[in-house]
Chains A and B, each alone.
Chain A
Amino acid sequence: MINQEERNVKIAVEQLDFFYGQTHALNSISLDIKENEVFALIGPSGCGKSTFLRTLNRMNDLIPKTRVKGSVQIGGQDIYDPDVDVVQLRKSIGMVFQKPNPFPISIFDNVSYGPRAHGLKNKKELMGIVEESLRQAALWDEVKDRLNDNAMSLSGGQQQRLCIARVAAIKPEVILMDEPTSALDPGSTTKVEALINELKQNYTVVIVTHNMEQAARISDKTAFFLNGYVVETDETNQLFTNPKEKQTKDYITGKFG
C-alpha cells in the first residue's frame, strides 16, 4: 500500500553526483520534495545550491564537460533517462533566475513567449493566459495599461515578477527559483515572497536563498548544503530552531558563511 507520505513526493533525488570537469560539485545528494511544498536550499556561497537546482531542469546540460550520476525522478519519471525530451521536461519545470531576465520585447510578448513557443497561436487564448499569469504574479494592476511597452522599462522588482508571470504562463508543475529576491529592494521582496506563498497552491516550489529569515518565512522544508553535500534536511521550523547537526547550527547562528 502506498501511504500519504510517498504518494505526494514530486521530486525524488537519489545519490546524485555532479561534476564540472574535474570539480566534484555535488556529492551523493538524496532528497525528497513533495507536491505543493516550498522547499528551500540554504548554504554558504559555492556549496552547490545553484548547481543542484539546475540539475532539476537539466539546465546544466548547456555547460560543456559536465557529468551527472545518480537519479532525479520528477513525477515518477527519471529525467536523465536517454528517452527524455529536455524541451518537454522544461515545459513542466519553470525557472526564475537570480537576476531578472525579461526579454527586451513587450510585456505581453514576454508573458506569451512560452505558450507561443509551445504552439499556441489563438490571440484571445494568449490574452487570457497573459492576464491570468500577470494576476498570479501580482503585476496585472501595474501593467495592464502598458502591455505593449518594452519589459526593460519596468523596475527591477516588476521585472522579476514579470519573469515569474512568464513562468506561470507555461503552467509548469514545478517552479525553481535561484535567489529570486537577491537583486530586489525590500518592498519588492515582500511582494515576491507573498507571491511564492500563493504559488504553492498550484506548484511545487524549490527556492535557493541566502537569506535565512526568508527561508524561515516562506518555506515548509529546508535543506542545508555545504561543500557539495546535504548536511541536513528537515521541516523548516525544526531546522532553524533545533538543528541536529553542529554544522547546521554553526551556519544558522552565523558562525560561518
Chain B
Amino acid sequence: MKFQKERNNKSNIEEGIVKKVLFVMALTAITSLGLIAFFIFNEGMPFMIDYGIADFIFGTEWDPSNQVYGIFPMIVGSVIATLLAILIGAPIGIAVAVYLVEIAPPKVARIIRPAITLMEGIPSVIIGLFGMVVMLDVIRRLARGPLSEYLPAGYQTGYSVLAGAIILAIMILPTIISISADSIRAVPNEYKEAALALGSSKWQTIYKVVVPAAKSGVLAAVILGVGRAIGETMAIIMVVGNTVQIPEAGWEGIFAPVRTLTGNIALEMGYAGPEHRQALFATGIILFIFIIIINSITLVLRKKED
C-alpha cells in the first residue's frame, strides 16, 4: 500500500512529541485556573458558611479586631466605582474608537494608535501616582471650594469614589477603544456605501449604521472594561480613600471615600490573623464570582454574534 503509515518514521515521532508537549502546556493553563479557584474557595468558603453567607455579604460593618466581617460597603464601593468608571470611560472610549476608524486622517491615526497601546502598558501604580498628585488636588479644591457647603467634612479630602472612577476610566480606556475600534473596522464597507448613497451625512452614517452594526463588539468591549475595572487594585487603593462606608445616596455620594473588594484584600492581608485571613479569602470569592458573571456575559454576547 502506497500511503501506509510508517510506524517509526522520525517526523511522525517528533510530531507526536510536540503534540503532547503542547497539550501539557494547555493543561497547565487550565490547571492553574482550577488551582486558584480551588485554593480561594477552600480557604474562604468554610469561613463564609461558618460566619453566615448573608451576614458576610450584607453585613455593613467590617471590624476584624472584634470579629465582625461584613463586606457590603466594599461591594457597594466596587460596584459604584466600576459603574461610574464605565459611565465616564465608555462614551469617551467609543467616541475615540469612532474617531480613530471613521474620521481621523491616517496621519493622526498613526500617532494615536501606538499611544493607546502604550497607555495600555502603563503600570497601574504610575496611573495611581498621577491620580494622587493631580486628580485628588482638583477634586479636593472642588470639594472644599464651591461644593463645601453641600458636602460633609469627610467628603472633602479629595480621596473619593469619584477619583477612583476616573482612574479606572483612564485604565479601561485602551481596552474599550481598541476592541470597539476593531468591531467598527469590521463593519462591512457596503453598509457605509449604502447609507452614504442614500444621502445620509457622514455623521448620520456613523451613528445610525456603523455603530449599531458594531454594537455587539462595542458592548463586549464595555463589559471587558467592567471586568478590568472591578479587578483593578493598586491604582484605586491610592486614590479612593479606603474608608469602609456606604456613601450617602445622592450626588454627594461620589465624593465619599470608599473601599473596594480588591483594596480590602490588598490592604489587610499583610497583617491578618488566621480568621481575618479567611475573611479576606472569602472577599476574594465574592470578587471571583463577580468576574465569572461578567465573563459569562461576554461569552453569551460572543455566541449571539456568531
Contacts and interface: CB of A to CB of B under 8 A. Distances in A.
Contact of A104 (B195, B200, B213): B213
With a 10 A CB-CB cut-off, give which of B190, B191, B198, B200 has the most chain A CB atoms.
B198
A117 B195 CA distance: 9
B194 A163 contact: yes
A170 interface: yes
B199 A114 contact: yes
Interface string B201-226: 10010001100110000000000000
A59 B189 CA distance: 12
A97 B199 contact: no
Contacts of A62: 193, 196
A74 to B, nearest CB: 14
Interface in A114-129: 114, 117-118
Interface string A80-116: 0000000111111011010101111100000001100
Q: How large is the interface on B (under 10, 10 to 19, 20 to 34, 35 or more residues)?
A: 10 to 19
Given A99-B190, A117-B208, A57 B197 contact: yes
A105 B212 contact: yes
Nearest to B208: A117
Nearest to A176: B197
A113 B199 contact: no
A190 to B, nearest CB: 24
A208 interface: no
B204 A117 contact: yes
Contact of A97 (B194, B204, B208, B212): B194
A221 interface: no
A207 B196 CA distance: 19
Interface of B: 188, 190-191, 193-201, 204, 208-209, 212-213
Given A62-B193, A117-B204, A170-B198, 17 more contacts: A87-B200, A90-B198, A91-B199, A92-B199, A94-B198, A97-B197, A101-B188, A101-B191, A102-B194, A103-B191, A104-B191, A104-B213, A105-B212, A113-B200, A114-B198, A117-B208, A163-B194
